[in-house]
Amino acid sequence: MGVRAAVLVVAAALLGASCSNSTLAPEDRAGYNRTPPPDVSQTEFVDYSTVPTGSPFTPVAPEGELLLVYFGYLSCPDVCPTTLAELGQALDLMPQEVASRFAVAMVSVDPERDNGPAIATYLDVFADRNHGLLAADEASLASSAEAFGVLYEVEDHEPGVASYDVGHSATVYVVDDQGLIVWELGFSADRDPQLTADTLESILNERYE
């Protein structure tokens, strides 16, 4: 069994995957939305999943698709892998033609320890279509986090120290092809990934069909 398959099997056990292909009304979906939807089309990152040396990336989904954006870090012991595993499981539960219209992006809030290629490799475990992202600098990270509504804090530490704490909000932002955050999934350690799959598919249908 490959690494990704093993992770998703564990996720299914933890999150209690079920079998349903229903389309959900807004009140039955996981998560919530903000009105008006925040516009993140002016934020910019460097993407290491498509080019190992990095290429400019704006968090706007391709036409007719949705981009699932998450802010986290590679040393996160629990929340980040649980969140990404849930997304991977949800995508695996969708019909292939539906799942192919989603991509997962992770922005590191710990650029001191995380490098771009490592983020891309990490995401390969959870989703085939992914974007491993870094902000250009600390100011860019702070402004981008503010645009999304992300809170994060890095513990004060001496330069070069390998161990320090990072706190961050753990929301998945669903971004459409206009760069608008059309839905948000808060962290849940035990959400049914089928509910996540149905929620995301419902949003896709509502947005584009």
Give all domains of the chain, ordered by start, each with its CATH number.
3-19+28-153+164-208 (3.40.30.10)
Gap between the Cα atoms of 18 and 26, Å rounded: 20
Which 3 state secondary structure label does DSSP give 10? helix
pLDDT in tens, 46-98: 999 989 899 999 999 999 999 999 999 999 999 999 999 999 999 999 999 99
CA-atom Rg of the chain in angstroms: 16
Helix 193-208, helix 3-15: angle, nearest 10: 100
pLDDT in tens, 111-144: 999 999 999 999 999 999 999 999 999 999 999 9
